[in-house]
C-alpha cells in the first residue's frame, strides 16, 4: 500500500516542480522520506497576510491518497482556521464523516482525486478569506469578525516575523 502512496507522492512532487502554482513551493523535506513535506506559502496579495512567507509541514498517511495528509504551520500564525499549535483546519483535509468542525455539506472534502496542490491552493484561499463559522482559533475568529483593524495588525506583525524583520 505504501508503494502506491510513494509512487503518487513522487508524481505529485514532479508535477509541482514542473508547474508550480503561483506563491507555493512544496516538496519532501528529505528525499529519503517522501511522507513528510515542507511547503512555503506566500501570503495572498491584497490581504493582511500579503508579503509573508509561511512555512508549513505536511505529513502523509501510508494509505495516501485514500486518506488525506495532515498539515501544520511551523511559524507563528493567528487565523480563525488555524489552531494555536499551527494545525490547519479546513474541509479538504477531512474525508466526509470525519468531521471535527461540523463543516457544511457543500464544503470541499478529501477524496483520492484531490492532491497536494489542491490542498495548498485551498490554504491560500483560506488565508485570503477566513471561514469564521468553523473556528479552530476562537479568539482569532472573534477578532476577525469584530475588530478587523486589530486582526490586521497582528497579521502584519506575523508577516514581518516570517521575513525575519523586527516587529
Partner 1 sequence: MDQTEETDAVNRDELIMQQQRQIEKEISDTIPLVSEEQPVDSLNNEYMGDDVYGSKVRDLAAKYRAIRRTRPDGNCFFRAFAYSYLEYLAGHKEDYDAFKELALKSKDKLVALGFPQFTLEDFHDTFMEVIEHVSPGENDKQELHKLFNAQGYSDYVVVYLRLITSGQVQEGADFYQNFIDGNCTIQEFRHQEVEPMYKESDHIHIIALCSALNVGVRVEYMDRGEGGQVKAHDFPEGTDPKVYLLYRPGHYDILYPN
Which is closer to partner 1, CB of 11 or CB of 163? 11
Q: Which of 9, 48, 82, 89 is catalytic?
A: 89
Active site annotation includes 89: yes
Question: Which single residue is written with the C-alpha cell 478587523?
Answer: 148
Cβ neighbours of residue 56 closer than 8 Å, sequence gap 6 or more: 38, 39, 40, 41, 71, 72, 73, 74, 86, 88, 123
Report in angstroms the alpha-carbon separations of 145 from 40, 52, 104, 132, 149.
27, 22, 19, 7, 10
Which lies closer to partner 1 via its Cβ, residue 9 or residue 123?
Answer: 9
Q: Does 7 bind partner 1 (CB under 8 A)?
A: yes
- The site map against partner 1 for 38-77 (x = CB under 8 A) is -------------------------x-xxx----------
Q: How many CA atoms lie within 13 A of 35 on its CB side?
A: 13
- Which one of residues 17, 59, 75, 108 is an interface residue with partner 1 (CB under 8 A)? 108
Which residues are catalytic, by number? 89
- In the complex, the residues that contact partner 1 under the rule CB under 8 A are 1, 3-4, 7-8, 11, 15, 63, 65-67, 83-84, 95-98, 100, 105-106, 108-115, 118, 138-139
Amino acid at each position: 500500500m505504501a508503494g502506491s502512496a510513494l509512487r503518487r507522492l513522487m508524481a505529485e512532487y514532479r508535477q509541482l516542480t514542473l508547474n508550480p502554482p503561483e506563491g507555493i513551493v512544496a516538496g519532501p523535506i528529505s528525499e529519503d522520506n517522501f511522507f513528510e513535506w515542507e511547503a512555503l506559502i506566500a501570503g495572498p496579495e491584497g490581504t493582511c497576510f500579503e508579503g509573508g512567507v509561511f512555512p508549513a509541514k505536511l505529513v502523509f498517511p501510508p494509505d495516501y491518497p485514500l486518506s488525506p495528509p495532515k498539515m501544520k504551520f511551523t511559524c507563528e500564525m493567528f487565523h480563525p482556521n488555524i489552531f494555536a499549535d499551527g494545525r490547519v483546519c479546513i474541509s479538504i483535509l477531512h474525508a466526509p464523516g470525519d468531521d471535527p468542525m461540523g463543516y457544511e455539506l457543500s464544503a470541499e472534502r478529501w477524496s483520492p482525486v484531490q492532491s497536494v496542490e489542491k490542498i495548498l491552493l485551498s490554504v491560500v484561499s483560506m488565508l485570503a478569506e477566513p471561514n469564521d463559522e468553523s473556528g479552530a482559533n476562537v479568539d482569532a475568529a472573534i477578532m476577525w469578525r469584530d475588530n478587523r483593524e486589530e486582526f490586521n495588525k497582528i497579521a502584519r506583525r506575523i508577516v514581518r516575523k516570517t521575513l525575519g524583520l523586527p516587529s
